[in-house]
Structure 1
């Protein structure tokens, strides 16, 4: 069916208490929530200056290399980086995978299905704050769902979701995405909006990739790390 952009709808997401963001429209897959709290400035401390910070999601179905975007979501990137450095994420899993439908975006059609691979980063030290200053979700973006530790990888552009999610990284290569199971799944319908949920969950691990110094093009980041400073 066709969805009208910015129509107010609700989809239940288990484990998340989702609320509506100021200035962020409701949409057929999520409800955005803007969390007001003090921000912490993220700086990169390394000599020589490191390249982009990256993390890796890996499982038997393939891996995703993710370039972190602390310029867009400093607090969220710090939390993800800290978890990735541990090299162990026992509660990390995928549980939702919806393909990109035919005619996506044509004449205002934005699903279902909803063009995403969704999972949990339940081992994060805390729930990330909402961080979005007007950025729309693009194909390959990896985003947090507000007010919880759940995330998704966008497998298509999502202008219909407005600015209601925290974009914290970019998947450098999506070629492994079709290898992750799309089925078996069950459907959940609420307010005439139908979403797909996998019958099984699929564990993955999250690890850190040490930044490469920009002036050498090889080697390790010589202690490059994300430092937390209280915002003034």
Structure 2
């Protein structure tokens, strides 16, 4: 026997209510996470959210590039004779020329033509190249006005390459960049590096590992996830420059030493601990070399003042620490 029409309506109505409640619950969770991370347009971080990321970033699993960009450089593989079906395959072909033990890669740039209609006979061409200066890659000049650039390009940094200095009065933090995982982010950092100054770049928040994480950044069982939240936070926006929001890129699990954007930037943080509780939220574009993390730890012990950002207790530096970006004077190992 079939149900009466009004019974069906009641069931459908109840199901709709349950669905709306589910959406509302998700919305509340998202709102809480955002509140945990935001102070006005800046974002703070705490360990009580469900934000985290997968894998370490900068690893062999990433193969991202920038569309509508043609990087130049000396060819080590000619694309007219070297073709693939995807940009990932082209990127991996470049990566295969990095053993990981022999220092710099024989290939540090890949350029792929992946638009079948626009590329025509060039479709699938994979050009592998080597830059004179991997921190200032050469770009091909644009074509005639109105003509679209249909290439996609990426960088690969081998062992001892792609490391820049974040200089502060308390010491230098050497950071390995991850262009294969966060190409847009790294392109922005290289633009800042070319300016040879970063007026306005600074650390303004500092929180130690407290009693929640050990010296290796591992969370102590049954301990709280903060406060303090084991990080130093700042901004990478040079005065006099126009900052454009960065797209979300690879979001691995935050590890001790991870350098990541907060939202689309230019606010960023360096993690002093492993934050598995933060999940897939932050674009990681680099990592501080382990031997330099004592500098970040020192900054985390500087005098601070308590503040509340969207109902989250944080500590901000009484005196912000200016930082500048520079090239390293000698090669460092990863």
TM-score > 0.5, shorter chain as reference:
yes
Structure 1 residue aligned with 2:207: 98
- The structure with the larger Rg is 2
Among 300, 306, 309, which residue is 1:186 paired with? 306
1:47 Cα shift?
5.7
Structure 2 residue aligned with 1:40: 66
- Structure 1, gaps ≥5 residues long: 1-5, 19-25, 33-38, 213-232
TM-score scaled by length of structure 2: 0.51
Task: Say which SS state the counterpart of residue 302 (structure 2) adopts.
Answer: coil
Task: Say which SS state the counterpart of residue 234 (structure 2) adopts.
Answer: strand
Task: Say which SS state the counterpart of residue 273 (structure 2) adopts.
Answer: coil
Equivalenced residue count is 194
Structure 2 residue aligned with 1:69: 178
Among 208, 216, 221, which residue is 2:327 paired with? 208
The verdict on how the C-alpha distance between 1:211 and 1:84 changes in structure 2, with shifts beyond 3 A counting, is farther
Say yes or no: does 1:144 pair with 2:261.
yes
Task: Say which SS state the counterpart of residue 56 (structure 1) adopts.
Answer: strand
Among 34, 41, 44, which residue is 1:15 paired with? 41
Structure-1 separation of matches of 2:48 and 2:230:
12
1:188 Cα shift?
1.1
The verdict on how the C-alpha distance between 1:211 and 1:58 changes in structure 2, with shifts beyond 3 A counting, is closer
The two structures, once aligned, show a CA RMSD in angstroms of: 3.3
Structure 1 residue aligned with 2:315: 196
Structure with the bigger RCO (C-alpha within 8 Å, sep 6+) is 1
Query: Runs of at least 4 residues of structure 1 off by over 6 A?
Result: 29-32
Say yes or no: does 1:119 pair with 2:228.
no
Structure-2 separation of matches of 1:128 and 1:210:
29
1:176 Cα shift?
1.3
Structure-2 separation of matches of 1:17 and 1:195:
11
Task: Say which SS state the counterpart of residue 112 (structure 1) adopts.
Answer: coil
- Structure 2, gaps ≥5 residues long: 1-28, 53-64, 72-107, 110-129, 135-156, 214-218
1:115 Cα shift?
0.2
Say yes or no: does 1:128 pair with 2:229.
no
Q: Which has the higher strand share?
A: 1
Structure-2 separation of matches of 1:151 and 1:159:
18
Task: Say which SS state the counterpart of residue 193 (structure 2) adopts.
Answer: helix
